[in-house]
Structure 1
Amino acid sequence: MHWTSILAIYVLFWVMSAFVLLPFGVRTHDEMGIEKVPGQADSAPANFRPRRLLVRATLLAAVLTALYVLNYIYGWVGYEQLDLFNRAPSY
C-alpha cells in the first residue's frame, strides 16, 4: 500500500471521527446555568472547545488507520467473513 493511500484513508477517518465526536462533551447555556444572549438558539454550545475535538479526532483517526493498515497487511478480516448471503465471488 502506498503512503498516499494511507494518507487518504487517514484523512477520511479523521473527518469521520471529527463529526462523530462533535456532540460529545458539549453543553448548552441552560445546562451550565449561563445567561443566553438575546436571539441565541437554545441549542447553541456554551463550552465548545475545538482544540480538544481536534486532538481527540486525530488520535481516533490514527488508531483506526493503524487498524485498517494492519488488517490490509495481515488479512484478519476479509470479504469472506463479511459475506452474509454466502455468494461466490463474481470476478
Structure 2
Amino acid sequence: MIKLIKSVAESTWATVAVVVVLTAIAIAVVVNFLGMRVSGSLALYFVIWWILLFAVLPFGVRSQIEAGEVVKGSEPGAPAAPALREKAIWTTLVASTVLVIVAGVLPLSGL
C-alpha cells in the first residue's frame, strides 16, 4: 500500500485524481447509505480533512540539518522533503474513513 501511494504521488494529476475519487466515494457512501445531505457531508468532510491534514503533516519529516542539505537563507529546521502529495493521499484515506464513522455515529447522538 505504501509503495502504491508513493508511486501515485509522483504525479500531481494522479494525486489529484486519487483525492477526488476517494472523496467522491466517501461522500456517496454517506449520502446514499447514511442519509446525510450532500452539502452537509461536503462541509463535514472539509472540516475533517483539514484537521487531519495538520495531524498528518509531521509524519516522516526530516529537517534540513538531519538530511545534511541546508539551503542557504532558509531555516535549518525546515523540512528537506515534505512529501505533500503523499500526505494529501493519506489524509484523504483517513478522512474518508473518519467521515463514514462520524456520519454513522451522528444519528445515534441525536444530532
Q: Are residues 1:29 and 2:64 paired?
A: yes
1:4 and 2:39 matched:
yes
Alignment of 1:39 onto 2:70: no
Q: CA RMSD, aligned part only?
A: 1.5
Pairs within 5 Å for 1:52-67: 52-67=86-101
Which of the pair is proportionally richer in helix?
2
User: What's the TM-score, normalizing by structure 1?
Assistant: 0.74
Deviation (angstroms), 1:56:
0.8
User: Which whole-Å CA distance do the structure 2 matches of 1:27 and 1:42 have between them?
Assistant: 11
Runs of 4+ in 1 over 2 A off after TM superposition: none
Give distance in 2, aligned partners of 1:10 and 1:37.
37
Task: Say how many residue pairs are matched.
Answer: 75
Following the alignment from structure 1 to structure 2, what is the Cα–Cα distance between the partners of residues 46 and 37?
Answer: 9
Structure 1 residue 27: Cα displacement: 0.5
Deviations 1:41-89, CA, capped at 9 Å, x for gaps: 021110111110110111111011000111124x1xx38xxxxxxxxxx
Query: Where does the alignment leave 5 or more consecutive residues of structure 2 unmatched?
Result: 1-35
TM-score (norm 2): 0.61
